[in-house]
A and B are shown apart, each in its own frame.
Chain A
Amino acid sequence: MAEEMIEQKQYTKMAMFKQGVITGIPITLGYIPVAITFGVLSFQSGLSLLELTLMSALVFAGASQFMGVNMIVANASMIEIVIATFVLNFRHFIMSLSFMNSIRDHVSLKGRLGVSLGLTDEAFAVASMNQEKANNNQAVYFYIGIFLSGYLAWVLGSLVGGVLGEVIPEQLSQSMGIALYALFISLLVPAVKKEVRYGLVALIAMLINAIAVQFMSSGWAIVVGTLLGGLSGVVLLKEKYG
């Protein structure tokens, strides 16, 4: 009886993990071309295979990695690069706070810590929009499935780009720049179909971001847009949240 229960539990873990990997396929698909581009570009910029793969494995934040390589090439100081990275990636603090708060009842501190390290824009967006698939006590395996597949695609893609050079024709890799935006849009649209006010929150965040970016770096502008856009949700969605 006990064994059966353990087996049942194992199965659920595996099933949740698989479900996570499947849910994360769009991220994996979107990451591979961008990661390959990163590998190509940073190898051409003079980073070794070890360095560029290590950067993807340890930093795991696309935009800041491209920026970092640019700054390394431009002979920027370490302090400058690290501060610029912090500014650009600070948005993940806001996203992580939102995500951790929403999974606190289902995922232990240990699980949350593990998952937090893989939190990118895309992983956050996909995980947040699919929470109904994971409201049980094995939820962490669902999120590990999403985050880990994205992580592996990113790290291995970077290595492949560095080793093989331009395996993807330039025109195609440029066209793939739309991929992650299409991912964000296809997460947002179904949510707006269900509740149009979510679209209003997104629209307000867009406008504030567009205005803010005139006055500050794009990293801070996204933070400001996200915070103020989210704040508009407090008012707009008051009765919905109850």
Chain B
Amino acid sequence: MIILIIIGMAIVTMVPRFVPAFIVNHMIFKDWINNWLQSIPYAALGALIFPGVLLVKEDQPHIGIIGALIAIILSYIGFNIILVVVASIATVYLLTM
């Protein structure tokens, strides 16, 4: 039974992922739609970051905020992505000790 649920979950996750691979084969988009699609990565990053980051530690939104600020500062200075990730983990770890 659980296997059936997993297969159902897999199908509804897979279809939205691969349908666009076909769509772009058959369609030429108007310029403004192309521009829209080009802006999607930045909008998606925004929506993925906030307000989700507030929930890193339940009931303690400041933990996520401080972790995020560290990430912003370090990546602004030009730190490598991996170092930014590790430093944020360390920050949250120390804050919750």
Which residues of A does B touch, CB under 8 Å? 25-26, 29-30, 47, 51, 54-55, 58-61, 64-65, 68, 72, 78, 81-83, 85-86, 89-102, 104, 109, 112-113, 115-117, 119, 121, 124-125, 128-129, 171-172, 174-179, 181-191, 193, 198-199, 201-206, 208-210, 213, 218, 221-222, 225-234, 237-238, 241
Contact = CB atoms under 8 A, between A and B. Distances in A.
B46 A229 contact: yes
B68 to A, nearest CB: 6
Contacts of B16: 86, 89-90, 92-93, 96
Nearest to A33: B89
Contacts of A213: 51
Contact of A82 (B9, B34, B84, B92): B9
Dominant SS among interface residues on chain B: helix
6 contacts: A93-B19, A101-B20, A175-B92, A181-B67, A205-B45, A206-B51
Interface in B79-94: 79, 81-82, 84-93
B46 to A, nearest CB: 3
Interface residues of B, number: 74
A59 B75 contact: no
Nearest to A111: B21
Contacts of A124: 41, 44
A226 B20 contact: no
Contacts of B44: 91, 94-95, 98, 121, 124-125, 205, 222, 226, 229-230
B46 A204 contact: yes
Given A109-B25, A205-B43, 18 more contacts: A26-B82, A26-B85, A78-B8, A81-B9, A82-B5, A90-B16, A95-B41, A96-B21, A102-B38, A109-B21, A175-B90, A185-B49, A186-B85, A189-B76, A202-B42, A202-B45, A209-B46, A229-B39
Contact of A204 (B43, B70, B72, B81): B43
